[in-house]
Amino acid sequence: MEYMILGGYAKIPRTQYSEKRRRICILLRKLADFALNLDDFGPISKEKYAGEYGPVRMTPWQTVFLWAQHLSEADYATATVKRYGGAVRQFLTWYEKQERRPVELADLTPIALMGYRQATQQNRATATTNLHVAALRAWGSWLADQRFLEADPAERLKSVGHVKADAPVSLSDKELNALLRAARASRYGQRNYAICQLLLQTGMRLGECQALRWQDIEYNERKGSVLIRAGKGNKARSVPLNGSARAALADHAARLMRKRSPTHGPAFPKRKNDTPCG
């Protein structure tokens, strides 16, 4: 049977190749080419990519993909791109559940965004709500810059005020000792104990600990330090190691060497059915 292939995106028998299907395939091809060749266009707009059947109409969901690409190219941290994209997708999901229909670009109004912020406040922490607000602001600004919308719907969307919280309660010495004993007695005890010591003694974040590699760690009997390559704000920093952290790392490394495990890759590799450091 003879087939017609359009740009690798559609393969339909010529005998079934109706005019309607031909138009659909052409639009699909244009949309795919559009997403793969953004550098050829400069500012993206609904009017700029017009073909035989008029401009390709983008949905809000599709713009999130393009916006995430823009954030990555602007050197935003990978974690930030992931969090921002997730926040905007949650907004779109919320809107469609509220309205019981697919969301369109015309639905992105200040009132809709404020309604989502209010709904988020009811069951999320203030910091989480403000993360979603920041994501919607960045997305709204980008949509206006790229002329998907005539105006930025999030321009006046304000963050939620923080309620002054009590000072965080730290673990007592007794609780700290119990935590360290439990870590040492657990499966992969040397590794888990070293993780706990690093978190307690350096104040590094869980994700930073998970990303550590042996080449980022330097220590001897008298001093030591850890290089955090991609910390908050995607900035690198060096953190000193005290005696407790150095001793725990030395025990962990010695165990790996006894088992002929590599000491040049991840400092705390994940084990089967195990999720250390998150």
Our CA dihedral for 11, 13, 17, 21, rounded to 10 degrees, sits at -30
The reply to whether 203 and 240 lie within a common domain is yes
What are the beta bridge partners of residue 218? 225
User: Would the CA dihedral through 139, 145, 148, 152 be positive or negative?
Assistant: positive
Structure tokens at 22: 């031909």
**Among 145, 165, 193, where does a domain finish?**
145
Do residues 69 and 118 both lie within one domain? yes
125-134, 158-167, 177-186: range with lowest mean pLDDT: 158-167
Choose one of 13, 39, 55: the last residue of a domain.
Answer: 55
How large is the average pLDDT for residues 192-213? 88
Query: Is residue 140 one of the residues assigned to a domain?
Result: yes
Residue 167 forms part of a structural domain: no
Residues paired with residue 3 on neighbouring β-strands, in sequence order: 13
Residue 28: pLDDT band (50, 70, 90) is low
Decide: residue 271, CB within 10 A, 0-12 exposed, 13-18 middle, 19+ buried. exposed
80 and 126 in one domain? Answer: yes
Alpha-carbon 151 to chain mean position: 27
Domain that holds residue 122: 60-145
* CATH number of the domain to which 95 belongs: 1.10.150
Same domain, 17 and 47: yes
* Domain assignment present for 109: yes
Structural contact between residues 143 and 88, judged by C-beta atoms closer than 8 angstroms: no
**Which one of 23, 39, 55 terminates a domain?**
55
Residues 64 and 128 in one domain: yes
Largest Cα span, the chain: 80
**pLDDT of 208:** 86
- Decide if pLDDT at 55 tops 60: no
Q: How many structural domains does the chain have?
A: 3
Q: Is residue 231 domain-resident?
A: yes
Whether residue 172 is predicted with pLDDT greater than 90 in this model: the reply is: no
**Of 56 and 177, more confident:** 177
- Pair 139, 180 in one domain: no
Say how far apart CA 108 and CA 110 lie, in whole Å.
7
Tokens 């907004």 belong to 91
Does the residue 12 lie in any domain? yes
0.75 exceeded by pTM: no
Same domain flag for 67 and 45 = no
Looking at the fold, whether 90 and 40 belong to one and the same domain comes out as no
DSSP-H helix ranges across 7-76: 19-36, 60-73
Kindly state whether residue 75 falls inside one of the protein's structural domains.
Answer: yes
Residues 184 and 240 in one domain: yes
E strands in 181-236: 217-219, 224-228
Asked if residue 164 is part of any domain, the answer here is no
Would you say residue 193 lies in a domain?
A: yes
CA atoms within 13 A on the CB side of 111: 2
Q: Would you place residue 272 in the very low, low, confident or very high pLDDT band (cuts 50, 70, 90)? A: low
247 shares a domain with 182:
yes
Question: Nearest-CA neighbor of 216 among 207, 225, 227?
Answer: 227
Cα(139)–Cα(14) distance, integer angstroms: 42
Reading the block at residue 135, the tokens are: 């994501």
72/141 same-domain check: yes
Mean pLDDT for the chain overall: 79
Q: Residue 228: which CATH number? A: 1.10.443.10
Both tokens of 19, joined, read 């005019």
pLDDT at 236: 80
Are residues 188 and 210 part of one domain?
yes
